[in-house]
Structure 1
Amino acid sequence: MDMEKTLKNILKKIKLSEPTISTILGALVIVVVGVLIFNFFQAEQSQPEILEMDEEISVSPEEQKAGVELVEVEKEDGQKEMAKIYKVEPGDYLSKVSEKIYGGGQYWPEIAKENSLNNPDLLLIGQELRLPDLELEMARLTALEVQNKPQAAIDGDEYTVSEGDHLWNIAVRAYGDGYKWTEIAQANNLAYPDYLAVGQELKLPR
């Protein structure tokens, strides 16, 4: 190599023996290789770490006004994620919470499911409820409501369930008040009020 010959010539000029020259050249090679290896590992370590992040969620001003907070929670696999949390207040029940957060009481079954509530009628003051993302479900129900409009008022004491029906809209049509779905559920001894079968007969207390 030209560089090696040049170094040898320089070292010979300063009257160093051949063994000494070889030793010096070997040391220089080791130093150069060491510097290159050091720079390589430094470059590897300095590269920014790419982390997989969950889809970013945020709390809207309306949700903040309703008492929703963004809280870090632990998933089943032990990892952390952000979730929307609502703390139960005096006088709250699930359909009321649904009304506060989503603008309609009919979404309470999804809140119950998200929190694995065995008894949806029993809420404790200060209890933290995780709020599900209902964007798709709300769009589906809205489409059903549009599809089923106009819906006639229900005047009788009995009603046969049709496709797309849920207790909330039946209560609205029968009483003009969606919150009276609980009375329909109690009158019919419904263990699972969020599940209605097409053709099911419901008693409407008057």
Structure 2
Amino acid sequence: MDSRLKNTLKTLKLNEDTISTLLGAIVVVVIGLLVFNYFRSLNPQGQITDQAALEDDGQTATPGQVKLVEEEDGQMVPEGLPTTYTVKQGDHLWSIAESFYNSGYNWTDIASVNHLDNPGQIEVGQQLTIPKVAVKVATVSQEQTTNNTIEGNTYTVVKGDHLWDIALRAYGDGFRWTDIYQANQDLIGPNPGLIEVDMNLTIPR
């Protein structure tokens, strides 16, 4: 009996290094799993995803899943706003506004609240505040746009105009509103969403 006990203890002593190695490997694996689970909540640029941020804030709105609620004044406002959004590759204010408001026309609200000097240039990784404002609707129909093409080098603003509509009528491409804004920035000021009736805009060609 004593002989068996001695042999067992001797075997355990001989394998002490192996046992220590196995225990160390188990600890490393557990730590690795914990680290992996943590970084799964981060995007490739190391920014916490919008979904994770919204969950932390107790909010429910996410891009592309807009739920509108009616305010006391009858306006429709997206649920879960205000929030923040991290700019991704290929984003522009129009597409971001469409994601959060179901209306690209709300890009002016995003530009205004973030004090963007040049709304046509936003950078990947940039944090934008998405304000709680009513959903904007188009004030110029496609038929009106087609029938009111802008052909000259200048244009006088009328009631209901937006730079997007003006660019669409001048170039057939609404995304070129940034060209008009840049050419008239001194006149318009820091907020491209605020253009005034009778303002005489240069239309670069």
What TM-score results when the alignment is normalised by the length of structure 2? 0.51
C-alpha deviations, 1:26-74, integer Å up to 9, x for none? xxxxxxxxxxxxxxxxxxxxxxxxxxxxxx963267238xxxxxxxxxx
**Alignment: residue pair count:** 130
* Contact 2:82–2:132 under 8 Å retained in 1: no
Q: Distance in 1 between matches of 2:120 and 2:193?
A: 13
Q: Distance in 2 between matches of 1:118 and 1:145?
A: 26
Partner residue, 1:161: 157
Q: Distance in 2 between matches of 1:182 and 1:150?
A: 22
Q: Which runs of 5+ in 2 are unaligned?
A: 1-57, 67-79
Q: How does 1:32-51 map to 2 (within 5 A)?
A: none
State yes or no: 1:173 paired with 2:174: no
State yes or no: 1:188 paired with 2:187: no
AA aligned opposite 1:97: I
Partner residue, 1:62: 64
Match of 1:150 among 141, 144, 153: 144
> Higher relative contact order by CA 8 Å / sep ≥ 6: 1 or 2?
2
Q: Which runs of 5+ in 1 are unaligned?
A: 1-55, 65-80
What TM-score results when the alignment is normalised by the length of structure 1? 0.50
Partner residue, 1:126: 125
What SS is found at the alignment partner of 1:62?
Answer: coil
C-alpha deviations, 1:81-139, integer Å up to 9, x for none? 974332111243333422443344432221123334455455342233232233x341x
Q: Distance in 2 between matches of 1:82 and 1:133?
A: 5
AA aligned opposite 1:180: R
AA aligned opposite 1:145: V
Distance 1:120-1:172 versus aligned 2 partners, 3 A rule: closer
The structure whose Rg is larger is 1
Partner residue, 2:198: 199
% identical equivalent positions: 38
* Contact 1:105–1:178 under 8 Å retained in 2: no
Structure 1 position 149, deviation (Å)? 6.4
Distance 1:91-1:60 versus aligned 2 partners, 3 A rule: closer
Q: Distance in 2 between matches of 1:168 and 1:98?
A: 13
Distance 1:85-1:118 versus aligned 2 partners, 3 A rule: same
